[in-house]
Amino acid sequence: MNLKPYPEYKDSGVAWLGDVPRHWAVHPLKRYAKNIINNVISKNSEELYIALEHIEGWTGRFKKNREAKFTGQVKRFSETDVLLGKLRPYLAKVAFPKEKGVCVGEILSIRPNVNYLLGTFLEKSFLSFPFIGIVNGSTYGSKMPRTEWDFIGNLGFPIIPLPEQNQIARFLDYKTAQIARFIKAKKRMIELLKEQKQAIINDAVTGKIDVATGKPYPKYKDSGMEWLGQVPEGWEVLPLRWHILIGSGEFRSGNLIRTEKSSDYQYPVIGGNGVLGYTNSNNSEDNLIIIGRVGALCGNVHYVKESAWITDNALRIDDIRKFQPEFLALQLKAMNLNKLSNANAQPLITGGIIKSQKVVFPPLNEQLEILKYIEHKTAAIGKTISRTEREIALMQEYRTRLISDVVTGKIDVRGIEIPDIADIDDTLDEAMEETEGKDEWETEEAEECIRR
């Protein structure tokens, strides 16, 4: 497709739009759309229910397997309403369900006058980077920033011929479906590469191969552990409690955590999901093993080489004897500790559970050789994963830029022939699963820090 600008432009007088095609009109959005406030206490069991966590950021799509539970007051929306999250608008939680339902109060339900403004075009405009940027600048509240309809409704908005709105929406649906297929393929490639990398690591740290020869060891013995099976004859099998100290991390207030590293906030804050941000103090030195203690992330294992702040949602292993810390971390990952958590609604793993586990280890010099082998064998895989992740990030940036350029009139798509696309929604839902665009401050653990 040869994408070109419109023939003539004019100044819109609106910061987020800039120059717009000469035939476009620009008026306050509230002239052609209204915020629907239709509060209800309960809903029918069959009704669609939408909360902020159900909406993908920047995609306009819903997450899979969203729960149909809700508490508190909700409000009804119609099949013509476009939903816009007013809490943390920088996350770009926008959706056009095209059916009736109910949503939480932190979502604006905006109903366009369909004689002038199509929901599909309104949705795409809300997803544009300039629009989200100016709305985010209007927020109030430091920890839980919100915007309001009073600001959004007064923003200048493009009012253009309905056929042109429809063409813009169809074009963007087509292009984002192409991008989704690309991302889906690349994510699948990353999954396979990670599986390959983990298989190499598991075989090395559990003694399935002798890294000196690349073949199995000459003799094996029973480890006494069902998950591990046979281990090399010269390796020891002992309970962890004899060789480590383990304890919980400590609470760190959210107002002492920054998202970016700086000279004042140089220590990573680490929990079950890895690095959550940076703070100005540390509670641990280097060469620690961190294990997620609670929630969906319990059993996650991280090896920390630098001084850091370990949160109270994680266990920390230090004073490690007879092990290279990194070797032990890799072996704990191979054990899949999550399966050891209790079966409660909130999964939990304790220091006692960890210490009761048996581990297998070779002499220290052999551990070092195994670590060198793993580094050598997985280096190329790691580079390929990084390159593929960068390709995905670039394609996501392109998608955001394309949406912005089209809905603000920087690109003319009126004469473009758009192929029919079957099952666009299914394609996008499969490709845009939750890790895409997930902000670290949306995680269960980070939210808990903020709430405290």
Taking only the tens place, the pLDDT of each residue in 91-117 is 999 999 999 999 999 999 999 999 999
443 belongs to a structural domain? no
Verify that 118 and 250 share a domain, yes or no: no
Verify that 155 and 196 share a domain, yes or no: no
- Say which CATH number the domain at 236 has: 3.90.220.20
340 belongs to a structural domain? yes
Verify that 143 and 201 share a domain, yes or no: no
Verify that 336 and 203 share a domain, yes or no: yes
441 belongs to a structural domain? no
Total count of domains within the chain = 2
For 82-96, 347-361, 396-410, which range has the lowest pLDDT when averaged over its residues?
Answer: 347-361
**Separation in Å, CA 14 to CA 10, 158, 267, 320:** 11, 10, 42, 61
Locus of tokens 């850091």: 308
252 belongs to a structural domain? yes
3-state secondary structure of 212: coil
**Among candidate residues 329, 364, 399, the one where a domain is terminated:** 364
**Cα(41)–Cα(45) distance, rounded to whole angstroms?**
13
Verify that 359 and 287 share a domain, yes or no: yes
Q: What is the mean pLDDT of the chain?
A: 88
Verify that 119 and 211 share a domain, yes or no: no
Torsion from C-alpha of 95, 101, 107, 113, nearest 10 degrees: 70
Q: What is the pLDDT of residue 71?
A: 61
Locus of tokens 């544009």: 128
Give the residues across from 197 on adjacent strands.
none
Verify that 95 and 150 share a domain, yes or no: yes
Q: What is the pLDDT of residue 347?
A: 81
Q: Where are the alpha helices (DSSP H) in 286-363?
A: 325-335, 351-355
Locus of tokens 């600008």: 5
Residue-range definition of the domain harbouring residue 107: 25-159
Verify that 119 and 197 share a domain, yes or no: no
Q: Which two tokens stand for residue 364?
A: 């220290």
Verify that 105 and 227 share a domain, yes or no: no
**Among candidate residues 364, 390, 422, the one where a domain is terminated:** 364
Q: Which of 405, 448, 442, 449 is nearest to 63 (CA)?
A: 442
Verify that 145 and 207 share a domain, yes or no: no
85 belongs to a structural domain? yes
- With a CB cutoff of 8 Å and minimum separation 6, the contacts of 282 are 267, 307, 308, 309
52 belongs to a structural domain? yes
Taking only the tens place, the pLDDT of each residue in 48-59 is 899 999 999 999
**Cα(7)–Cα(306) distance, rounded to whole angstroms?**
57
Q: Checking DSSP bridges between strand 267-271 and strand 309-310, what pairing results, if any?
A: parallel
Q: Which of 362, 360, 363 is nearest to 222 (CA)?
A: 360
Verify that 276 and 231 share a domain, yes or no: yes
Verify that 134 and 238 share a domain, yes or no: no
Q: What is the pLDDT of residue 422?
A: 58
356 belongs to a structural domain? yes
74 belongs to a structural domain? yes
